[in-house]
Amino acid sequence: MRETLRGARRVLVKIGSRLLAEEPAMVERLCDDVAAVRAQGIEVLIVTSGAIALGLSRLGWRTRPRDLPRLQAAAAVGQGQLMQRYDAALRRHGLVPAQVLLTHDDVRHRGRYLAARHALLCLLEAGAVPVINENDTVSTAEIKFGDNDLLAALCTSLIEADLLVILTDVDGLHAGDPRTGAPLLPLVREADQDLERAAGMAGGAGSALGTGGMASKVQAARIAARFGVPTVVCSGLTERPLATVLDGQERGTLFLPRQDRLQSRKHWIAYALRPQGYLFVDEGARRAVVEAGKSLLPSGIVRVEGDFEAGEAVAICDEGGVEFARGLCAYEAAAVRLIAGRHTSEVESILGYKDTDEVIHRNDLVLL
């Protein structure tokens, strides 16, 4: 299994706040590792945390603030400090870093998503090393990713990565609490039940400096797996972890991808978008969507929740409230409420117009 990682030509490596804060030379060590991999002709992009932690230190604040303005202020101070470290560390190897700051809005809007993609691919073509971080200075609750594990997972489809490596301060995912001697899980297979078990084994949030934890890393691996990208979660405290992983050596936990890889656009619908509403459907409609690969018609909708516009993402749930699919709705919420449970032949007489027979076309729909 591990030998297949040697074929990766474009790698996304993510490093968290806690690792950067506890190891003063971590940026330099990471960049040495990146340079060694780049020398083999492999493209590398870095997703980095650390701006807020550095800002707190520079401002003399001992604890992470709870209020958004102070977090934004710390990020504004720390981002420059962080990039100075990457610039100095990569410059020693003749490499050029490129700062890329993103918010969830940048991946939610298709035009901005494609603009970010084109910029990143241009940077790789020019030989630069993109250093990606959430734009915490302007992020609010509505447009935050939540943590950089999610940002890294979404970037796998954004730049069509071959591998995601998440560096942390533990050696991988364990079958329980590692402090009690629970063994390391070297491999988690693509099957959903394996990932569900892995998610159950993972802990909660991370340190006071960061927002992630092992649970968010498992979730990131799940998202990357749907795009067909393997993920390795391993310790960043060991010697050359990135180069070691790419050499096929056993390190950390390898999450294998799914075989039924989602296309980039459907991966974007499933994971980059946040549902603006909910459509509850009957059992017949659920079977038609899940088992027969059909579009969602108005006749199968039993209830509508939320206020959304045409073209926005909505969650599709069974009558028990379990979400099983997500898609782009062809009609606004008010219109769907009027045509719910009705035959497609009645849509025009009810609304006075009919854009399409389907409420969500199968090309705009993803099973979760």
Whole-number pLDDT of residue 13: 98
Q: In the chain, where are the structural domains located?
A: 2-266, 275-367
Spatial separation of the C-alpha atoms in residues 321 and 140, rounded to whole Å: 28
pLDDT(98) > 50: yes
pLDDT(76) > 60: yes
pLDDT(5) > 90: no
- The per-residue pLDDT for range 126-150, each reduced to its tens digit, is 999 999 999 888 876 554 666 889 9
Spatial separation of the C-alpha atoms in residues 222 and 200, rounded to whole Å: 13
Spatial separation of the C-alpha atoms in residues 303 and 137, rounded to whole Å: 39
- The per-residue pLDDT for range 272-310, each reduced to its tens digit, is 899 999 999 999 999 999 999 999 999 999 999 999 999
Whole-number pLDDT of residue 205: 46
Whole-number pLDDT of residue 210: 44
Q: What is the largest CA-CA distance in the chain?
A: 70
Asked if residue 171 lies in contact with residue 239, where contact means CB atoms within 8 angstroms, the answer is: no
Whole-number pLDDT of residue 101: 94
* pLDDT category of residue 211 using cuts at 50, 70 and 90: very low
* pLDDT category of residue 196 using cuts at 50, 70 and 90: low
Q: Does domain 2-266 have CATH number 3.40.1160.10?
A: yes
- The per-residue pLDDT for range 35-73, each reduced to its tens digit, is 999 999 999 999 998 888 889 889 999 888 888 889 899
Whole-number pLDDT of residue 139: 74
- The per-residue pLDDT for range 334-365, each reduced to its tens digit, is 999 999 999 999 999 999 999 899 999 999 99
Alpha helices of the chain — where are they, by DSSP H? 17-22, 26-38, 51-59, 68-91, 104-108, 110-125, 148-158, 192-201, 214-226, 241-246, 264-267, 283-290, 333-339, 347-351
Q: Looking at 103-107, 114-118, 257-261, which range is the least confident one?
A: 257-261
Q: Which CATH superfamily is domain 275-367 in?
A: PUA domain (2.30.130.10)
Whole-number pLDDT of residue 208: 41
pLDDT(168) > 60: yes
Mean pLDDT score of the chain: 89
Spatial separation of the C-alpha atoms in residues 34 and 42, rounded to whole Å: 9
Whole-number pLDDT of residue 176: 79
Spatial separation of the C-alpha atoms in residues 351 and 35, rounded to whole Å: 60
Report the 10 Å Cβ neighbour count for 249: 12
Residue with tokens 């006071």: 208
Q: What percent of the chain has pLDDT over 90?
A: 67
- The per-residue pLDDT for range 9-29, each reduced to its tens digit, is 999 999 988 888 778 799 999
Whole-number pLDDT of residue 252: 94
Whole-number pLDDT of residue 263: 87
Q: What percent of the chain has pLDDT over 70?
A: 92
Spatial separation of the C-alpha atoms in residues 46 and 34, rounded to whole Å: 9
- The per-residue pLDDT for range 84-97, each reduced to its tens digit, is 999 999 999 999 99
Q: Looking at 196-205, 265-274, 309-318, which range is the least confident one?
A: 196-205
